[in-house]
Structure 1
């Protein structure tokens, strides 16, 4: 019972904690290394091509992506799996476990969304992208104590890939 109570408390704290200016600055710092890393991995792995698409389906996807995957996955893989953020407390092992589980979570989604999606979900370049997003989001959560910078970064990465760089989507056909 105590573990469930601690988990519930951590989830609520992560949702109720709104980052200050330093927390949002931390988001910019993480994005500054993450975005170039994702672009390099994505273009090298053939996962990205400049294909801007702004239509009703992308708007719908952007709205849905805020909840799934961004909020849902960040609550599970960061707030639920990582320890309470505490200044000076090392959490490297927890970040590695959280990131590994985050990466392992993605391939089974190919079974849910179909063969066109499974091709991406099993691609090692995609899984490398997932890993670096996992590390960046874990670092954000641990440094801010809030889930919101991680949610925003995760959401931005998903939507930018799908709206600008030709990323496939279970919600958008083709």
Structure 2
């Protein structure tokens, strides 16, 4: 049984090394910006119209923003991209036929969406975070597609991690994510702060 697991471990190790070793370049950066712009053109109108996204400035201070942004760079961005893109998907340089690669891409996408449902039912249970809300799952699915496409083209863990990170920060600090992930307590605290500033 242990010997059977060795090829799988070796395959994952190869994927990790290849993705970590693929650095960022200017063309990759432009690709990432274009992909984020495309995602924004889809996600923002839908999210605002469906009222899942709410314009909201959740930045308390530059220091707290910086520390929280660093934490979110590691998790969810780096952790989720390592698992759902790098470990699940063949590296583009492996030369896998496109149809088989797209099949693995579908597996990655489904796993990414289901993971957020599980998060909502476990880690964020009772917080009303909305991670199993169909509107959020559609937004997450679109993001997953964009990230899968970017990884297929570049094979860079760093690019998809930064893209994921930017989307998370924009949602958390600009469109209601902070209150959703913090639950009722965060909403109460924020309401009190707003009331105090208006006095």
For the criterion TM > 0.5, the same-fold answer is yes
The runs of at least 4 consecutive aligned structure 1 residues that moved more than 2 Å come to: 56-61, 86-89, 168-174
State whether structure 2 residue 130 is matched by structure 1 residue 130. Answer: no
State whether structure 2 residue 117 is matched by structure 1 residue 107. Answer: yes
Secondary structure of 1:19's match?
Answer: coil
1:111-166, CA deviations, whole angstroms, 9 ceiling, x for partnerless residues? 21232245x11210100011011111111111111111111111111110111111
Q: Report how many aligned residue pairs link the two structures.
A: 173
Q: Given the superposition, is the C-alpha separation of residues 104 and 29 from structure 1 closer, same or farther in structure 2, using an over 3 Å criterion?
A: same
Larger CA deviation: 14-23 vs 70-79: 14-23
Tell me what 2:90 maps to. Answer: 83
User: Greater helix percent: which structure?
Assistant: 2
Q: What is the rounded CA distance, in whole Å, between the counterparts of 1:95 and 1:45 in structure 2?
A: 28
Larger CA deviation: 154-163 vs 44-53: 44-53
**TM-score, with structure 2 as normaliser:** 0.79
**Pairwise CA distance, 1:62:** 1.4
Secondary structure of 1:106's match?
Answer: helix
State whether structure 2 residue 181 is matched by structure 1 residue 169. Answer: yes
Tell me what 1:38 maps to. Answer: 43
1:3-46, CA deviations, whole angstroms, 9 ceiling, x for partnerless residues? 21121121122112102222212112211211111112311331
Q: Is the CA contact (8 Å cut-off) linking 1:81 and 1:94 kept in structure 2? A: yes
State whether structure 2 residue 146 is matched by structure 1 residue 116. Answer: no
Q: What is the rounded CA distance, in whole Å, between the counterparts of 1:147 and 1:89 in structure 2?
A: 21
Secondary structure of 2:58's match?
Answer: coil
Q: Is the CA contact (8 Å cut-off) linking 2:109 and 2:141 kept in structure 1? A: yes
Tell me what 2:76 maps to. Answer: 69
Q: Given the superposition, is the C-alpha separation of residues 73 and 156 from structure 1 closer, same or farther in structure 2, using an over 3 Å criterion?
A: same
Stretches of structure 1 that go unaligned for 5 or more consecutive residues are: none
Larger Rg: 2
Q: Is the CA contact (8 Å cut-off) linking 1:41 and 1:128 kept in structure 2? A: no
Among 135, 139, 144, the residue aligned to 2:149: 139
Q: Is the CA contact (8 Å cut-off) linking 1:15 and 1:146 kept in structure 2? A: yes
